[in-house]
């Protein structure tokens, strides 16, 4: 199964490297990467506009977005929701194994 390497930098400056396993029927790893980046950038942009937002609220909204998107897929509803759960489990497992990089501290 192919993987999607992905690096993200948190507002704190911490860098995380992920290795996300892609589903065997992934049509375009590049498109997956582009959509992931767009989603994360949109959430960050909205958080800066909305102000202080609890992380649990963000995760809940993203989970609801996943469920909504799965319901819109042209598959049998049960199949689409099962696929969404499987993909979420695979991604969260990969996230639990993400490698943090600590940037060197400097003095100005």
pLDDT tens for the 108 residues of the chain, in order: 799 999 999 888 889 999 999 999 999 999 999 999 999 999 999 988 988 889 899 999 999 999 999 999 888 888 999 999 999 999 999 999 998 876 555 555
Residue whose token pair is 């993203």: 62
Domain enclosing residue 60, as ranges: 3-101
Phi, psi of 2 (to 5 degrees): -70, 160
pTM: 0.84
Does residue 53 lie in a domain region?
Answer: yes
The number of domains in the chain is 1
pLDDT at 103: 58
DSSP state letter for 23? P
1 touches 21 (CB < 8 A): yes
Q: Within a 13 Å sphere around the CA of 103, how many CA atoms are in the beta-carbon half?
A: 12
Does residue 107 lie in a domain region?
Answer: no
pLDDT at 97: 92
pLDDT at 36: 97
Does residue 108 lie in a domain region?
Answer: no
Does residue 94 lie in a domain region?
Answer: yes
Q: How far apart are CA 28 and CA 34, in angstroms?
A: 10
């Amino acid at each position: 199964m192919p993987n999607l390497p992905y690096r993200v930098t948190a507002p704190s400056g911490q860098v995380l490297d992920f290795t996300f396993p892609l589903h065997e029927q992934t049509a375009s790893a590049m498109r997956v990467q582009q959509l992931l980046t767009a989603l994360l950038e949109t959430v960050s942009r909205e958080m800066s506009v909305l102000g202080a937002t609890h992380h649990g609220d963000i995760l809940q909204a993203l989970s609801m977005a996943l469920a909504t998107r799965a319901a819109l897929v042209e598959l049998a509803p049960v199949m689409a929701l099962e696929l969404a759960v499987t993909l979420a489990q695979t991604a969260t497992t990969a996230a639990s194994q993400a490698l943090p990089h600590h940037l060197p501290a400097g003095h100005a």
